[in-house]
Structure 1
Amino acid sequence: MSSVLDTVLLVEVFVTLFVIMDPVGTVPIFLSLTSGRSAATARRAAWQAVAVSFFVITVFAFFGQQILEYLHISLPALQCAGGLLLLLVALELLTGNEKELTAQSGTNVALVPLGTPLLAGPGAIVATMLFTREVDNGPEFAAVGLGVVLVHASLWAAMRFSLPILRLIRESGVLLVTRIAGLLLSAIAVQLVADAVRAFIAGEG
């Protein structure tokens, strides 16, 4: 009976994080941020982003509650901060300044904004913390861990196999994808901030 429950938990973790982290929706943002780079650099960015996301999710799964309590940070505050950071990136994509931004700052896009807060964002962090809080035994822990691993494997596959698309659509297509990515990312960012504001008003912050 326990194995059936573990399977249910595994599916629940995978589906929840898959919807939140959205591997398919990550593709246009990944393409826009890696356009103009070599295929090897883009491939490296894909696995680096997934590695950073997995590290952040794992750290918050084990120590998230203690970190937030020590720093006196509420979950809505974390969510609002992530939303504002994503909004800044979205504005760069919409205005076509993302290349200048990364060139001037020397930022590795695989770390920020891809790894975090896009993949390992407030939603994924909070969901993982809630799942780990419910873990009572080894099989349940293994189910949550495997669910997180499978979602990150899906994220890597989505970004890795999107590279042929980048070669196919050329510069004009990249420009279109970049604008679409900026629009989608800005909507995600505004939703995060709106949810955080609602939580503050409801007294959860």
Structure 2
Amino acid sequence: MSSLIDVALFTEVFVTLFVIMDPPGTIPVFLALTSRMDARQRARAARQAILVAFGVIVVFAIFGQQLLHYMGISLPALQASGGLLLLLVALELLTGKAEEPEPAKGGSVNVALVPLGTPLLAGPGVIVATMVFVQQRVASGESIVAHWVAIALAIVLVHVCTWLAMRFAGVIQRVLRESGVTLVTRIAGLLLAAIAVQMIATAVIEFVRTA
């Protein structure tokens, strides 16, 4: 089993993306954006948002490395910028400064595409983190198949968790209540801040080593 999947990498990618996408934290935003939808429309919006987010992330995971090479961006630079970006996202989660979205108006705008699918789910933080994982592991040249399986499985499972959170948003909100969702969001922000600092520290060490 270990030859087919890198368990350590799978855990790292899953935790990182789960914290960034923050399925429990998307519940109040999703409910606000779909407040004028019935149950069937809300379920379809959740499905469409997940498909859009998954497509965006997969595209960047596959072609992100070529984009970096074309633009002449090194891995340490990507790690440092990604760490700073994730730190900003973490501070937003910790301070609760996320903007309140406006509810959908009469179905005139497909909120499942924008802003749910992107940038709420497939935002800059998720894209950068995915590109960093792919670039770092593929560049190592070791057990590439196991690395790709680990990254792909982690991405799929995170999207499944996020879809479940949105699909059953009403039930989860009633169970956790507003204070529970807020607590989970704050904890996610703290974990994300630690991940961001580690990414920046790793990038600085690599800059010094290669200099």
The interval holding the TM-score normalised by the smaller chain is: 0.5 to 0.7
| Separation in 1, partners of 2:201, 2:157 | 31
Q: Is the 8 A contact 2:165 2:172 kept in 1?
A: no
Q: Deviations over 1:84-104 (max 9, x none)?
A: 24534x268x2574225999x
Deviation at 1:129, TM superposition (A): 1.3
The partner residue of 1:40 within 31, 37, 44 is 44
The partner residue of 2:136 within 120, 130, 143 is 130
Deviation at 1:158, TM superposition (A): 1.0
1:151 aligns with 2:159: no
Hey, which of these two has a bigger chunk of helix by percent?
Answer: 1
Which residue does the alignment assign to 1:17? Answer: 13
Q: Is the 8 A contact 1:32 1:181 kept in 2?
A: no
Percentage of identical aligned residues: 11
> What is the correspondence of 1:1-205 to structure 2 with a 5 Å cutoff?
6-7=3-4, 9-22=5-18, 26-36=22-32, 37=34, 38-64=42-68, 67=71, 69=73, 73-88=77-92, 90=93, 94=96, 97-100=99-102, 107-122=114-129, 124-135=130-141, 140-163=143-166, 165-170=168-173, 173=176, 175-195=178-198, 198=201, 204=207
Deviation at 1:79, TM superposition (A): 1.6
Residue-pair matches, total? 193
Q: Is the 8 A contact 1:86 1:117 kept in 2?
A: no
CA RMSD of aligned residues (A): 4.0
In structure 1, the residue corresponding to 2:91 is in which secondary structure? helix
Deviation at 1:114, TM superposition (A): 1.7
Deviation at 1:48, TM superposition (A): 1.8
Deviation at 1:154, TM superposition (A): 0.7
Instruction: Structure 1: state its 5+ residue gaps.
Output: none
| Separation in 2, partners of 1:102, 1:80 | 32
Please identify, of 149-158 and 50-59, the stretch whose mean Cα deviation from structure 2 is larger: 50-59
1:31–1:132 Cα change, 3 Å: same
| Code of the aligned partner of 1:22 | F
In structure 1, the residue corresponding to 2:141 is in which secondary structure? coil
